[in-house]
Structure 1
Amino acid sequence: MKSLAIIGSQWGDEGKGKITDLLSQKCDLVVRYQGGNNAGHTIIVGDKKIVLHLIPSGILHDHCTSIIGHGVVFDPEAFKVELENVLNNNITVTPEKLKISANATVITMYNKLMDAQRESKGTVKIGTTGKGIGPAYEDKISRRGIKLRDLLNKEELIKKLENNLTEKEFLLKNLYKTEYPTIEEEASRLFELGKIIAPFICDTFSILDHAVKENKNILFEGAQGILLDIDYGSYPFVTSSSTSYGGIFTGAGMPSGKVDEVLGITKAYTTRVGEGPFPTELFSEVGEFIQKKGGEFGATTGRKRRCGWLDLPLLKYSVKASCLTSIALTKVDILSGMDELKVCKSYRYEGKDIDCAYPGIDLSKVEPIFTDLAPFDDDFKGEPSENLRTYIELIEKELGIPVSIIAYGPERSEIKFRKDFF
């Protein structure tokens, strides 16, 4: 058996989908363990562009079982739309190929309304997608959450929605002054959606347990990135789940007690969607050039991504916070042919130079210290140029782990493996 976790090492959007797609060819199971449909994995297969939000990337391979673990917050309506899209792309989806935890928390219409109202009327803008992710996790932690299994019994669903709505009703009516569905309306909507999801609902932990016993190859697919982790990220400008290595054990389970390798997907530069500090952000024409050439728009929201140079202090922290064993360097082609190339190796903070962005520092008050490198102009048809090798070697030296994959385009053929994972 071999187990591998694929985790975003930055603020998400690093290109995890295509790496997962390729590695899942050699896996028996691909497991999603956190987040919801606020994430988006874009995979290019030939002339097809497939965007997945909830369904794991392993669904593209018939031999692979895709699992949505209990740590995911699940929007039944979004799943219905995504399922139809996948089927319309002639991809087979059966209860044998896709399994969803009965204990996954459901995103209700109340969650989505609360999310949208807070972001539009609140004093602090977090940059949420407005899809109800945070409020659904709040329900889970407050023990008022609706679980997928609840959608299969309408009478029980009504009782649980009554308990769930108690506080929200007061806020929606009196604070936000917005309309909301009645309990009967929401119960009917969710119950009907539950009929579609029912064939896929099961106990996913036991499936993982048996897979470990049978020496299956297991791949864990993360959403977002370590720097958006609810505990390890740049709080409060984070998502509401455990995006790091630890989220595997809380959001899916790994009965063997460990994951063999943890691959950090790392963009060759840095991007961020939404609000929050960004030390290496470029406000110049260079940043705009990277944004346009890299097509830096969110797969889920379409929002423009902020762009900046590679931030090694942040990556060093990610390596430590999520036990990364190697990194996949993606979108290297976007930097090829540029007139200048910089890397942030350290910060100036409170009169001292620091080379690791530990969470004790205020990222909004750091001064990035850049190192100039000779630009590279590779076409990626042969071996890397000396300048590109220098760039890669600098990253490896600073992080203390190898670059095991280099990606220089969206196609499967534009990914070079420097290590055999399975």
Structure 2
Amino acid sequence: MHLNKTARVVIGAQFGDEGKGRLTAHHVMEIGDDAIVVRFNGGAQAGHTVVAPDGRRHVFSHVGSGALAGAATYLSRFFVANPILFLKELDLLAAQGVTPTVYVDPASPVTTPYDMMINQIVERERGADRHGSCGIGFGETLERNLDGRFALTVADLADPSMLTNRLDAIRREYAPARLARLGVAHTFEANADLFRSDAILEHYVEDARHFLDVTITTEARAAIRDRPLVFEGAQGLLLDQDRGCFPHVTRSNTGLRNVLALADELGLERLDVTYVTRAYLTRHGAGPLPRERPEKPYPGIVDTTNIPNEHQGTLRFAWLDLDLLGRAIHEDLSDAAAYPALTVNAGLAITCLDQLDGEAARYYRGGIQYRSSLETFVAAATEAVGLDRPLLGFGPSGELMPCG
């Protein structure tokens, strides 16, 4: 079996929402619909918006962002699968005439409705001290899977009897104990009708069967074969579980770390990595946001994906800090030193430049705020991160083009 030795990699350089989906679709359109998009971290909390040249628009969650262009998807063992939300996404894609081919690693952790319940209950109880969770049980899934008595992976979904028994143990034993550890033991009885509902359990077992029917469970090498590879990251470097500001992080390595492990296993020789940032900084959810502003930094900013919600609130904005951007990228690239046989080439993409709408670009460097032309801003960003010829993005469906 032949494998391509080179892969493209898309990584968000900020707090997420940088344009990773758009760049992934751009790569797929360049290399062809035989590509396969590998999801190497995160889970259903991703929201990667792609607008196809024909006007079709989709916010990708599980499915790789190259699907509108015909690419297949591989959900790696670092990806947390959520059958409930996956099936909803398939329905949305089907309405646009898209039936994606999705492969999934049998070792991929699986979210249950009880993880989602715990996540949402606890986040509500935190009140003003919320962590900024999406409320879909991503981190709770990984926490539960640390205990073998309650762990579930894609491979386990194939046995309905075993799955039913495991779900029953999760709702009766694990859930009340977990809520107690989190200091909100009283909430189990307050939500007993949900945890004890047999209808919810039985519906999930049916969703799991359907999930297996519409995906292909296989290990990475068999799924990838000789396809061109595009690794698509979720969230951003500033939310990395090891490098972000705890506890306002995602329970995931958002940068190169997982990609390097997968690339090594697959025998890849080169990774062409693009770090993506908007022309300004955003954050959806609680936690620090350097240079935060009380309002949009540019009047032309429009974001129809990150609408206000109960768990994350309203999208927040800040001026772009080029020193922070450079540090995050260089810290992430340092992980490649552990794989000397693998060549890593890095580049930068700056999106949403159209939203400056003719105004002077504003950004920080060396603690000083600058106002400059678009050309000067791009040059400063390139110098700050030490990466040549960035890709520039204008508009939700426009081409990304190299600078210079």
Please indicate the TM-score interval, normalised by the length of the shorter structure: 0.7 to 0.9
Alignment-mate amino acid for residue 61 of structure 2: H
Residue of structure 1 in register with 2:336 after alignment: none
Residue of structure 2 in register with 1:34 after alignment: 41
**CA offset at residue 258 of structure 1?**
5.6
Query: Do the aligned partners of 1:8 and 1:264 also contact (CA within 8 Å) in 2?
Result: yes
Query: Do the aligned partners of 1:158 and 1:184 also contact (CA within 8 Å) in 2?
Result: no
**CA offset at residue 251 of structure 1?**
7.2
Q: Over residues 11-50 of structure 1, what are the superposed CA-to-partner deviations in whole Å (9 max), with x where a residue is unaligned? A: 0001111111110121522111111111111111232221
Structure 1 residues 74 and 253: alpha-carbon distance in aligned structure 2, compared to 1, 3 A threshold: farther
1:79-94 alignment to 2 at 5 Å?
79-93=86-100
Q: Over residues 160-212 of structure 1, what are the superposed CA-to-partner deviations in whole Å (9 max), with x where a residue is unaligned? A: 2244342313455942132233385454222211222213131232326x63x
Cα distance in 1 for residues equivalent to 2:162 and 2:197 = 12
Aligned-partner SS, 1:274: coil
1:68 to 66, 72, 75: 75
Identity of aligned residues (%): 25
Residue 280 (structure 2) pairs with residue 269 (structure 1): yes
Residue of structure 1 in register with 2:340 after alignment: none
Structure 1 residues 313 and 149: alpha-carbon distance in aligned structure 2, compared to 1, 3 A threshold: same
Residue of structure 2 in register with 1:351 after alignment: none
**CA offset at residue 332 of structure 1?**
1.0
Q: Report the TM-score, using the length of structure 1 for normalisation.
A: 0.81
Residue 329 (structure 2) pairs with residue 319 (structure 1): yes
Q: Over residues 270-316 of structure 1, what are the superposed CA-to-partner deviations in whole Å (9 max), with x where a residue is unaligned? A: 11111111121112xxx3353x5222454476553211111112211
**CA offset at residue 394 of structure 1?**
0.9
Residues paired across the two proteins, number: 371
Residue of structure 2 in register with 1:197 after alignment: 211
Query: Do the aligned partners of 1:53 and 1:82 also contact (CA within 8 Å) in 2?
Result: yes
Query: Do the aligned partners of 2:306 and 2:315 also contact (CA within 8 Å) in 1?
Result: no
Structure 1 residues 31 and 171: alpha-carbon distance in aligned structure 2, compared to 1, 3 A threshold: closer
2:364 to 322, 344, 352: 344
Cα distance in 2 for residues equivalent to 1:274 and 1:259 = 35
Aligned-partner SS, 1:73: coil
1:345-384 alignment to 2 at 5 Å?
345-346=365-366, 369-374=367-372
Aligned-partner SS, 1:261: strand
Residue ranges of structure 2 left out of the alignment (5+ in a row): 334-344
**CA offset at residue 128 of structure 1?**
0.7
Structure 1 residues 98 and 167: alpha-carbon distance in aligned structure 2, compared to 1, 3 A threshold: closer
Structure 1 residues 130 and 417: alpha-carbon distance in aligned structure 2, compared to 1, 3 A threshold: same
Structure 1 residues 203 and 227: alpha-carbon distance in aligned structure 2, compared to 1, 3 A threshold: same
Structure 1 residues 66 and 167: alpha-carbon distance in aligned structure 2, compared to 1, 3 A threshold: closer
Structure 1 residues 403 and 275: alpha-carbon distance in aligned structure 2, compared to 1, 3 A threshold: farther
Aligned-partner SS, 2:350: strand
Residue of structure 2 in register with 1:357 after alignment: none
Cα distance in 1 for residues equivalent to 2:26 and 2:76 = 21
Query: Do the aligned partners of 1:18 and 1:42 also contact (CA within 8 Å) in 2?
Result: yes
Cα distance in 2 for residues equivalent to 1:253 and 1:224 = 23
2:141 to 111, 122, 136: 136
Residue of structure 2 in register with 1:230 after alignment: 241
Query: Do the aligned partners of 1:59 and 1:98 also contact (CA within 8 Å) in 2?
Result: no
Tell which deviates more after alignment, 99-108 or 78-87.
Answer: 99-108
**CA offset at residue 67 of structure 1?**
0.8
Alignment-mate amino acid for residue 312 of structure 1: L
Q: Report the TM-score, using the length of structure 2 for normalisation.
A: 0.84
Cα distance in 1 for residues equivalent to 2:259 and 2:386 = 23
Residue of structure 1 in register with 2:381 after alignment: 395
Structure 1 residues 9 and 160: alpha-carbon distance in aligned structure 2, compared to 1, 3 A threshold: same
Query: Do the aligned partners of 1:265 and 1:328 also contact (CA within 8 Å) in 2?
Result: yes
**CA offset at residue 395 of structure 1?**
0.9
Structure 1 residues 182 and 250: alpha-carbon distance in aligned structure 2, compared to 1, 3 A threshold: farther
Residue of structure 2 in register with 1:178 after alignment: 191
Residue of structure 2 in register with 1:356 after alignment: none
Query: Do the aligned partners of 1:149 and 1:201 also contact (CA within 8 Å) in 2?
Result: no
Residue of structure 2 in register with 1:417 after alignment: 402
Alignment-mate amino acid for residue 393 of structure 2: A
Residue of structure 1 in register with 2:165 after alignment: 159
Residue of structure 2 in register with 1:221 after alignment: 232
Structure 1 residues 14 and 191: alpha-carbon distance in aligned structure 2, compared to 1, 3 A threshold: same
Residue of structure 2 in register with 1:10 after alignment: 14
Residue 65 (structure 2) pairs with residue 57 (structure 1): yes
Alignment-mate amino acid for residue 347 of structure 2: S
**CA offset at residue 341 of structure 1?**
3.5
Structure 1 residues 159 and 61: alpha-carbon distance in aligned structure 2, compared to 1, 3 A threshold: same
Cα distance in 1 for residues equivalent to 2:276 and 2:374 = 18
Aligned-partner SS, 1:106: coil
Cα distance in 2 for residues equivalent to 1:122 and 1:5 = 36
Q: Over residues 54-82 of structure 1, what are the superposed CA-to-partner deviations in whole Å (9 max), with x where a residue is unaligned? A: 111122233x3211112111111111111
Residue of structure 1 in register with 2:120 after alignment: 116
Tell which deviates more after alignment, 125-134 or 300-309.
Answer: 300-309
Residue of structure 2 in register with 1:331 after alignment: 352
Alignment-mate amino acid for residue 4 of structure 1: R
